Structures are given as C-alpha cells and as structure tokens.
Amino acid sequence: MEERKIIKELNKILTLEHGHLGMYKNFLDYSDQELRRTFRRFAEIEIEHINKVKSAVLNMGGKPSTIVEGGDIIGRLFGITINLTNVQEVVKTYSWVEKKSHQGYADFVSKLEQSGGAMQQFIAEIAAANMLESRLMHLWLDDKLKSYGDHKPSQ
C-alpha cells in the first residue's frame, strides 16, 4: 500500500470514528445507568481512536480530513435512521456499526501487512489496537442486546 493511499484510507476511518463518537457522546440522555457509564467510556475510547488516527495522518505528512461535528454522521454514512427513543434499537444499531468497524479495520490491517514495509507495519499496529476495541465494543453491545430478551425497555 503506497503512502498516499494509506493517508486516504486513514482519513476515511477518521470520518467514521467521528461518527462513532457521535453515537456515544450523548450518554447522559439514557436512563439506564449501565448504558450511561458504558457509553461514557465508549465515547472516551472513540476520542482516543480519533486522536490516534489523526496523529497517524499528520505524522505521515498528510492533512487530516476536517469534520463538522454534530448531526447524525452515522445515519448519513450508512444511510440509516436511528430511532433514539428505542434503546433496544439503538444498542442493536451500534452493535452492527461496531461490527462493521471491526471488519473495516481487519481489512485495512491485512492490506497493510501484505504490502510489508516498516511504515506499513507501524500503521497496522495503530489500526490493530482500534480494531480490537471496536470488537470489544461490539461484543459488549451484543451482550447487552441479549439481556433485553423479549421485553422492550424504555429510555
């Protein structure tokens, strides 16, 4: 993978990571204390993801894509509408988004590893850390989803 392509991919990931932060940053809106606490930490993790990807772009001599905060980035990116009043649906959608994030990172990491090179390996290590965390978030959300069972929770 050549440098220009890596920067382009990282900037795509950066946009997605801003979308992820948008999912969790309103953690205070949830009445479920466990969700509030978890989404708060998830928001912190997403900020870490953004910062890592952003500094990777900068250190490669690239220009990080600027994102206008606010609005439903994830909804726009994936062409979906999230009904925020239905907590079960929120958890289900976020679980799906994190699964996609993990897959995206896994593809990126394997492409980087295939192309060899010290710089590619370095970026792969950064991406692999985010990949693991998106997997952990997906698994937590999936587990939370199972806990709802048949009854519908209110927000």
Q: Residues interacting with Fe ion, by CB under 5 A?
A: 17, 20, 46, 49
CB-nearer residue toward Fe ion: 49 or 138 = 49
Cα 42 to Cα 75: distance, rounded to the nearest angstrom: 18
Cβ 135 to Fe ion shortest distance, Å: 11
CB-nearer residue toward Fe ion: 120 or 134 = 134
Q: Which residue shows structure tokens 């999912």?
A: 23
Cα 30 to Cα 36: distance, rounded to the nearest angstrom: 6
Cβ 96 to Fe ion shortest distance, Å: 14
Terminal C-alpha separation, the chain: 45
CB-nearer residue toward Fe ion: 25 or 49 = 49
Q: Is 41 helix (H, G, I), strand (E, B) or coil?
A: helix
Cβ 101 to Fe ion shortest distance, Å: 6
